[in-house]
Chains A and B, each alone.
Chain A
Amino acid sequence: MASSPECVLDEMEAMRRGFTVRRIRFWFISALVIAFYAVSWNLADIDLHKLATGLPRLGHWIATAWPPKLDEVPLFAYRTAETVAMAAIGTTLATLLAIPMCILASRNITPWPALYFPARWFLNALRGIDSFVFALLFVAAVGLGPFAGVLGIALHTWGSMAKFFADHIESANLGPFEAVRTTGAGRLTTIAYALVPDVLPVLLSTALFWWEFNVRASTVLGVVGAGGIGQELKNSMDLLDFSRLFTIIAVILIVVTALDQLSGWLRKRLV
């Protein structure tokens, strides 16, 4: 009988060699992948010739970038601080809003299971619309300036963060939650006692990550008039003032790198 390991192994090998269906499927999937990239290449309008002629022009601009516009650095620093502040307020607002939402959007602890799917849809909608698009809308609604940027950042980050927290809670070990619940504690007390201590460090670390991410993302918000360093960036580009442009980029790089280090250090201490 085919009961020895040798026999089973022979059978498995024979099956693998003989299976033409498997081979057909392999080529079919390969063809699909190749077709996908061919279409994407076309749609993306890839033109290597343009790159070849454009690169020297870029090199020329870089050459004209020296010397940097140091006299304007205080202004750039102020605008960058505005960007950092926008990201900080927006992210904090998003975190505060995300806390109740992530409880609603966690299948395993929500007090109202009926609201689970609506909550998830709502968060997906917020997440699907970029802060840039939100900022565009808010510039129209509340006018030019950083406040529109703050609202844009807050809404998009709210969706992303609450979804991340909810996923984290859904995969968390609910043993302690169940144990505390059996002591006679109410649902919210149980969440506060059994879940928050374990989830809080992750939550804070995520908030820091999003702040850092939003600083980088919101450098461009100024382009649509939503405040911050992006406005200066766009002005310089419009004037083809490359020494000013590259000075701004340098300031952004320095600040972003410093924040990276700071938030990395803080997050390491949290977890």
Chain B
Amino acid sequence: MMTGQLRVIASSGSPALAQASDFSSVPKLTAAGVSKVFNGRHAIDDVSFIVRERELVAVLGPSGAGKTTLFRCMTGLLAPDRGTVRIGGDDISLLRGRERRRVAVVFQQFNLVSRLTALENVLAGRLGYVPAWRGWLRRFTRSDRALALECLDRVGLLDRATQRADTLSGGQQQRVAIARALAQRPSLIVADEPVASLDPNAGTGVLDLLHGIARTDGVGVICSLHQVHFARAYADRIIGLSHGRVVIDVPTSSFDQAAFENLYGPQAAGGPADSNA
């Protein structure tokens, strides 16, 4: 958190504090009273929060808390029963076709096209911009290819551009997926458990990237996580989801032991649990 603030301050020459608060004033995503019912049970219930520009928001919560449902609502893959999700000022359920490019999604399972090269996977991020026939033939303009290579360079994989996606390691595949999201020039990146399938080192690399993108590209990043220490290290704000409801929405510095126990229950606090309870 602190290092992130410092980086912003260092990169801008003007009065730092005012600038920083200005940056975080533009809402990129606004969820208002979002509910979704499955089989008579609320998967998410009256969920409201805001993700601002240059902000990385982590969503924490035990399994079954409704994180997946919430994320599918935020990507427009699922329509909420009540409430709205707004991207900038527009209702996401009305973002049809090409307009969907404004929200980029990073998945737990990377979801690269395995037989295509890293570069071709990144170029998929341009499909919301180019005429359909270019997508069909995978023929992109020079400027699109240059942009895609720049994105690959940003995730440190320029030298892997022509390598097939399924020959890359998990961490590399997730970085290609992030490059694909970048090529989309989104205003919001939604990352659903982006490090859950990665080893700790690869996970750190991925979160470093997402954090840096939030800061330098002026996008909002919302990211669900299982590891609390990752959230503490990289998030500006932490939202806690429990039984489909937002129970915590605080700056990371305020996410203390009490908040942690509130979210995961007292047993999870640490130390071996009593198995003969």
Q: B73 to nearest A CB, angstroms?
A: 13
Q: Which of A166-195 contact B (CB under 8 A)?
A: 175-176, 178-186, 188-190, 192-194
Assess the A193–B105 pair: CB atoms within 8 A: no
Q: How far is B113's CA from A124's CA once the two chains are assembled, in angstroms?
A: 31
Chain B interface size, under 10 / 10 to 19 / 20 to 34 / 35 or more:
20 to 34
Task: Flag whether B15 is at the interface (Cβ < 8 A).
Answer: no
Task: Flag whether B38 is at the interface (Cβ < 8 A).
Answer: no
Task: Flag whether B104 is at the interface (Cβ < 8 A).
Answer: yes
Which residue of B77, B112, B116, B128 is within 8 Å of A184 (Cβ)? B128
Chain A: CB-nearest residue to B115 = A197
Inside 8 A of B101's CB, which chain A residues have their CB? 183-184
Which residue of B105, B110, B132 is within 8 Å of A182 (Cβ)? B105
Q: How far is B124's CA from A186's CA once the two chains are assembled, in angstroms?
A: 12
Which residue of A182, A186, A197 is within 8 Å of B113 (Cβ)? A197
Q: How far is B203's CA from A69's CA once the two chains are assembled, in angstroms?
A: 74
Chain A interface size, under 10 / 10 to 19 / 20 to 34 / 35 or more:
20 to 34
Chain B: CB-nearest residue to A191 = B136
Q: Which of B76, B77, B125, B129: most chain A Cβ within 10 A? A: B125
Task: Flag whether A10 is at the interface (Cβ < 8 A).
Answer: no
Task: Flag whether B239 is at the interface (Cβ < 8 A).
Answer: no
Assess the B116–A197 pair: CB atoms within 8 A: yes
Assess the A193–B138 pair: CB atoms within 8 A: yes
Inside 8 A of A193's CB, which chain B residues have their CB? 113, 124, 127, 135-136, 138
Assess the A180–B113 pair: CB atoms within 8 A: yes
Q: How far is B113's CA from A190's CA once the two chains are assembled, in angstroms?
A: 11
Q: Which of B101-135 contact A (CB under 8 A)?
A: 101-105, 107, 109-116, 124-129, 132, 135
Q: A169 to nearest B CB, angstroms?
A: 14
Assess the A183–B97 pair: CB atoms within 8 A: no
Q: Which of A182, A192, A194, A201: most chain B Cβ within 10 A? A: A182
Given A179-B111, A180-B124, A183-B128, also A192-B100 (CB < 8 A): no
Inside 8 A of B113's CB, which chain A residues have their CB? 176, 180, 193-194, 197-198
Q: How far is B166's CA from A211's CA once the two chains are assembled, in angstroms?
A: 30
Assess the B114–A178 pair: CB atoms within 8 A: no
Inside 8 A of B127's CB, which chain A residues have their CB? 180, 183-185, 189-190, 193
Q: How far is B133's CA from A189's CA once the two chains are assembled, in angstroms?
A: 8
Task: Flag whether B99 is at the interface (Cβ < 8 A).
Answer: yes
Q: B43 to nearest A CB, angstroms?
A: 19
Q: Which of B98, B126, B135: most chain A Cβ within 10 A? A: B135
Inside 8 A of A184's CB, which chain B residues have their CB? 97-102, 127-129, 184
Q: Which of B98, B100, B111, B138: most chain A Cβ within 10 A? A: B111
Given A175-B111, A193-B113, also A182-B135 (CB < 8 A): no
Given A182-B104, A185-B124, also A198-B114 (CB < 8 A): yes
Q: How far is B102's CA from A185's CA once the two chains are assembled, in angstroms?
A: 12
Q: How far is B101's CA from A175's CA once the two chains are assembled, in angstroms?
A: 17
* Contact code string B48-77 (vs A, CB < 8 Å = 1, else 0): 000000000000000000000000000111
Q: How far is B127's CA from A179's CA once the two chains are assembled, in angstroms?
A: 12
Q: How far is B124's CA from A184's CA once the two chains are assembled, in angstroms?
A: 9
Assess the A186–B105 pair: CB atoms within 8 A: no
Inside 8 A of A175's CB, which chain B residues have their CB? 107, 109-111
Inside 8 A of B100's CB, which chain A residues have their CB? 181-184
Assess the B135–A198 pair: CB atoms within 8 A: no
Q: Which of A181, A184, A194: most chain B Cβ within 10 A? A: A184
Q: 7 pairs across A/B with beta carbons < 8 Å?
A: A178-B111, A179-B107, A181-B100, A183-B104, A189-B136, A193-B135, A197-B116
Q: Which residues of B contact A (CB under 8 A)?
A: 75-77, 97-105, 107, 109-116, 124-129, 132, 135-136, 138, 177, 180, 184
Additional A-B contacts beyond A182-B104, A182-B105, A188-B136 (7; CB < 8 A) = A175-B109, A175-B111, A176-B114, A182-B103, A183-B124, A184-B97, A185-B127
